[in-house]
Amino acid sequence: MKTISSMVCAFACVLGMTATNVNAAAETSLQKNTLSVGADLNYPPYDYFVDGKPAGFDPSLLALLAKKMNVELTFSDTRFASLLLGLKSNRFDLASAGMYVTPERAQQINFLPYMKTGVSFVVLKGSANQPMTPADLCGLRVSSIQGAAWIPKLTEFSKTGCVDQGKAPIKLSEFPSSAEAVQTLFAKTADVQTEDAAVAAVAVKNTSGRIEISSKEILYPVVGGYGLRNDNQVLLAAMTKALQAIKDSGEYAALLKEYNLGEPSKEEIAAAMGTAN
């Protein structure tokens, strides 16, 4: 019994030392005024390269947070599929890739929820069709990137919200890329394009205003968050404080507006994390 008790004690001590070491590493990182970020820099407009430097919504937001925390950012370009492994193996402090918060992921890592995205409706500038809700799509020709998360939802709505209500169905067409989907507007083979809210905002800018966003709110919203290790409470607390500071200053709201994103509510965050009652 004494031997077993000693083994249990030793094992507990090792676990305690491991947790202490991780938190100590986080403290040391912040004390050295550094924050290492693993980011999939191949995902515009969230994370990508411009002239060899990280750009997009996430690097811009992280720069604001880093300024409040008085730390310097370093980026490690990491494909999305390897981000969680790299985070858990301590290759970097933070995972950034427009990552959706889900209950399954929230069981593996901590999240700092920081934005809400979803679907925007895009039309030709000055179009007679100015849909704002899915109900406005009944009978219209709608293009989308292939396999988008909102396709099943729009397909179901076409049946229950259009056909079952005596209206014409939504005429959905899918294309391999967003660029091909938006071309259907210019060719006038589609009336509306459905697109990720941030991607839609960039498309409007890149086409010199030839298209516009008709929807006023983000539809089918999802919450995005930065990923942190579960035992890295020091960094989570520091980033939470910094995020509140840029909210108070108005910098956060201005950046969300620039990228056509939203701030998630407490209820939306709880639902995404799987903690809603």
* Predicted model pTM: 0.77
The sign of the dihedral angle between the CA atoms of 243, 108, 43, 257 is negative
Q: Can you give the pLDDT at residue 31?
A: 66
Asked if residue 171 is part of any domain, the answer here is yes
Per residue in 69-95, pLDDT (tens digit) is 999 999 999 998 899 999 999 999 999
Q: Please report, for the domain that includes residue 48, its CATH number.
A: 3.40.190.10
Please state the domain count of the chain. 2
Q: Does 216 share its domain with 247?
A: no
| One domain for residues 61 and 83 | yes
User: 145 and 249 in contact (C-beta within 8 Å)?
Assistant: no
In a domain, 261, yes or no: yes
Alpha carbon 142 to chain centroid distance? 24
Give 24-64 pLDDT, tens digit per residue: 454 556 667 899 999 999 888 999 999 999 999 999 999 99
Which residues partner with 257 through β-bridges?
none
Residues 167 and 249 reside in one and the same domain:
no
Mean pLDDT computed over every residue of the chain: 89
Residues 57 and 89 in one domain: yes
Please give the pLDDT value at position 148: 86
Residues 202 and 269 occupy one common structural domain: no
E strand intervals along the chain? 34-39, 42-43, 47-50, 53-55, 72-77, 94-96, 110-124, 141-145, 171-175, 192-196, 211-213, 219-228
Q: What is the mean pLDDT of residues 192-197?
A: 95
Angle at 186 between CA 182 and CA 189, to 5 degrees: 85
The per-residue pLDDT for range 6-17, each reduced to its tens digit, is 434 443 444 444
Section 99-108 average pLDDT: 91
Per-residue pLDDT for 268 more than 90? yes
Q: State the pLDDT confidence band at 276, using cuts at 50, 70 and 90.
A: confident
User: In terms of residue numbers, what domain contains 174?
Assistant: 118-220
Same domain, 45 and 168: no
Indicate if the pLDDT at residue 265 is higher than 60: yes
Q: Does 22 map to a domain?
A: no
Q: Are residues 133 and 123 in the same domain?
A: yes
Residue 5 included in any domain? no
- Is 179 part of a structural domain of the chain? yes
Give pLDDT, residue 27.
Answer: 55
pLDDT tens digits for range 195-250: 999 999 989 998 998 999 999 999 999 999 999 999 899 999 999 999 999 999 99
The answer on 179 and 266 residing in a single domain is no
**208, 241: one domain:** no
Residue 190 lies in a domain: yes
Q: For a pLDDT cut of 70, what percent of the chain falls above it?
A: 89
pLDDT at 189 over 90: yes
Q: What is the pLDDT of residue 20?
A: 45
- Residue 66: partners with Cβ closer than 8 Å, 6 or more residues away: 35, 72, 73
Contact 136, 216 (CB under 8 A): no
- Structural domain includes residue 19: no
Q: How many CA atoms lie less than 13 Å away from 79 in the CB half-sphere?
A: 2
What are the C-alpha distances in Å from 203 to residues 40, 64, 99, 136? 20, 24, 21, 22
φ, ψ of residue 133 to 5 degrees: the values are -135, 165
Q: Is 181 exposed, middle or buried (0-12, 13-18, 19+ CB in 10 A)?
A: buried
Residue 28 lies in a domain: no
Directed axis angle between helix 57-69 and helix 233-249, to 10°?
100
Note the pLDDT of residue 81: 87
Q: What are the backbone angles phi and psi of residue 44, rounded to the nearest 5°?
A: -70, 150
**pLDDT tens per residue, range 110-154:** 999 999 999 999 999 999 999 999 999 999 999 999 988 899 999
> Is the CB of residue 225 less than 8 Å from the CB of residue 13?
no
Same domain, 131 and 88: no
Domain boundary among 186, 201, 220: 220
- How confident is the model at residue 147, as a pLDDT? 85
135 and 216: one domain?
yes
What is the rounded average pLDDT of the residues 175-203? 94
Q: Identify whether residues 151 and 66 lie together within a single domain.
A: no
